[in-house]
């Protein structure tokens, strides 16, 4: 669990700032881009673009994940409310995305920086080939000194509009950071960072400056709804995004986008917001794709002994340690690996289907061929095809 007293002096000084040529993903949420109002705030956007432009001019590779299409559409069409009307939200996104990009294009053109639009939905990166194609495109844009501006494709991906997928682009920003091997992800919203309690309710709430590890329980305990009715995210989705990015080797900050020069100050090492240090060295591309978790087809439950083998001995998952299965996964599909408390401890590519695993679970590997009439190896999930969280 996260507790302020857990934060050591060494931890609070862990962030020393980015060096030149760092690759940085900045996420700007709806609550920030509207300035607390109902429509896009041009002054807020201009301040954001100015910071990105200055860092770009110093040699950094900058990528922007921007929400705000629906809010921009409200301004264009003069709509004040779209609650519960999914076709209207899709229409607002379709109108607003063009308006949003036109505004960004003007602001960046004044800085003589080319931009590119990237609309991404979950299905685009749920398969390995799509993941690689998007990665290649984003890397090429960054290499050519273009600033990609990325958003969820709200026109066709209605799950995001209902708040069921990326959470106002929080998770999308972590996936983009994962895709491009970013050095830093800065998630900007309308709050100063992660607090011990809701600062709007509890006067004793304190900002937590550094979180060295985020668990699923932390997400449940400290996550809350969005403080802005227009946004679809909240601290819960921000913590989930920070957990995903940090586990794939990316440093993460959650900070208040209204703080003057917040991006530049974080980049040079100022203590702002909440810092989540990278939990591991950068993972190779296939393991980063697995860690994204977008293609999970099922779940494998394991006993305490198997948990120790995976976490402490760097071992593979054998049939003997499996106690339960669920889902519809086939051989070669991505599965979630959970402990006895249903807490996810890893992800991996299964050598067997859910029906086959159900037959051989709890058995010794030498019995697989006798039970199934065929064998694809001694392991349910081989260590080389696994990521432990």
pLDDT tens figures, 34-82: 876 777 889 999 999 999 999 999 999 999 999 888 888 887 888 776 6
**What pLDDT is recorded for position 155?**
56
What does the block give as tokens for 386? 């696994």
Instruction: State the residue for tokens 């994204």.
Output: 292
Angle, to 10 degrees, between the axis of helix 285-292 and the axis of helix 235-247? Answer: 160
Region of poorest pLDDT, from 20-34, 145-159, 233-247, 339-353: 145-159
User: Among 56, 36, 60, which Cα is nearest to 189's?
Assistant: 36
> Tens digits of per-residue pLDDT, 99-113?
999 999 999 999 999
From the options 1.10.287.3510, 2.30.130.10, 1.10.10.60, 3.90.1150.150, give the CATH code of 295-388.
2.30.130.10
Question: Which architecture does CATH list for 16-285?
Answer: 3-Layer(aba) Sandwich (3.40)
Region of poorest pLDDT, from 25-34, 76-85, 260-269, 320-329: 76-85
Angle at 33 between CA 126 and CA 220, to 5 degrees: 55
Could you give the residue range(s) of every CATH 3.40.1160.10 domain in the chain? 16-285
The answer to whether residues 368 and 375 touch, using CB atoms and an 8 Å cutoff, is: yes
Q: β-strands 344-349, 334-338: how paired?
A: antiparallel
What does the block give as tokens for 301? 């439950």
Cβ burial of 349 (10 Å; 0-12, 13-18, 19+) is buried
DSSP H/E element including 278:
none
The answer to whether residues 252 and 198 touch, using CB atoms and an 8 Å cutoff, is: no
The answer to whether residues 311 and 388 touch, using CB atoms and an 8 Å cutoff, is: yes
Q: Can you give the C-alpha Rg of the chain in angstroms? A: 22
The answer to whether residues 7 and 208 touch, using CB atoms and an 8 Å cutoff, is: yes
The order of strands in the sheet holding 296-302 is 322-327, 296-302, 334-338, 344-349, 386-388
Could you give the residue range(s) of every CATH 2.30.130.10 domain in the chain? 295-388
Q: For residue 363, is pLDDT > 60?
A: yes
**What pLDDT is recorded for position 4?**
43
Instruction: Give the DSSP letter of residue 314.
Output: -
**What pLDDT is recorded for position 63?**
97
* Farthest-apart Cα atoms in the chain, separation: 70
Report pTM. Answer: 0.79
């Amino acid at each position: 669990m996260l507790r302020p007293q857990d934060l050591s002096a060494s931890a609070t000084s862990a962030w020393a700032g980015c060096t030149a040529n760092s690759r940085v993903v900045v996420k700007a949420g709806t609550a920030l881009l509207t300035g607390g109002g109902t429509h896009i705030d041009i002054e807020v956007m201009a301040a954001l673009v100015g910071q990105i432009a200055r860092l770009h001019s110093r040699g950094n590779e900058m990528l922007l994940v921007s929400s705000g299409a629906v809010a921009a559409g409200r301004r264009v069409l003069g709509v004040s409310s779209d609650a519960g009307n999914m076709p209207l939200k899709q229409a607002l996104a379709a109108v607003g995305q063009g308006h949003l990009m036109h505004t960004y294009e003007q602001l960046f053109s004044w800085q003589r920086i080319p931009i590119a639009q990237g609309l991404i939905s979950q299905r685009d990166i749920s398969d390995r080939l799509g993941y690689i194609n998007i990665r290649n495109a984003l890397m090429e844009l960054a290499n050519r000194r273009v600033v990609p501006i990325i958003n969820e494709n709200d026109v066709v991906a209605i799950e995001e509009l209902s708040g069921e997928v990326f959470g106002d682009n929080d998770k999308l920003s972590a996936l983009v950071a994962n895709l491009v091997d970013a050095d830093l992800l800065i998630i900007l919203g309308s709050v100063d960072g992660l607090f011990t309690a809701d600062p709007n309710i509890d006067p004793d709430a304190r900002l937590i400056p550094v979180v060295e590890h985020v668990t699923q329980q932390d997400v449940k305990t400290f996550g809350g709804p969005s403080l802005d009715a227009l946004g679809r995210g909240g601290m819960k989705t921000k913590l989930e995004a920070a957990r995903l990015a940090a586990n794939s080797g990316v440093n993460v900050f959650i900070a208040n986008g209204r703080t003057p020069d917040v991006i530049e100050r974080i980049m040079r090492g100022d203590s702002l917001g909440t810092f989540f240090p990278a939990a591991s060295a950068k993972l190779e591309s296939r393991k980063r794709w697995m860690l994204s978790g977008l293609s999970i087809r099922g779940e494998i439950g394991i006993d305490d002994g198997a948990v120790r083998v995976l976490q402490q001995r760097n071992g593979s998952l054998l049939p003997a340690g499996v106690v339960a299965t669920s889902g519809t996964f086939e051989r070669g599909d991505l599965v979630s690996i959970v402990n006895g408390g249903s807490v996810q401890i890893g992800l991996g590519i299964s050598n067997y289907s859910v029906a086959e695993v159900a037959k051989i679970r709890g058995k010794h590997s030498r019995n697989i061929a006798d039970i199934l009439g065929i064998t694809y190896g001694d392991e349910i999930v081989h260590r080389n095809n696994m990521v432990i969280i």
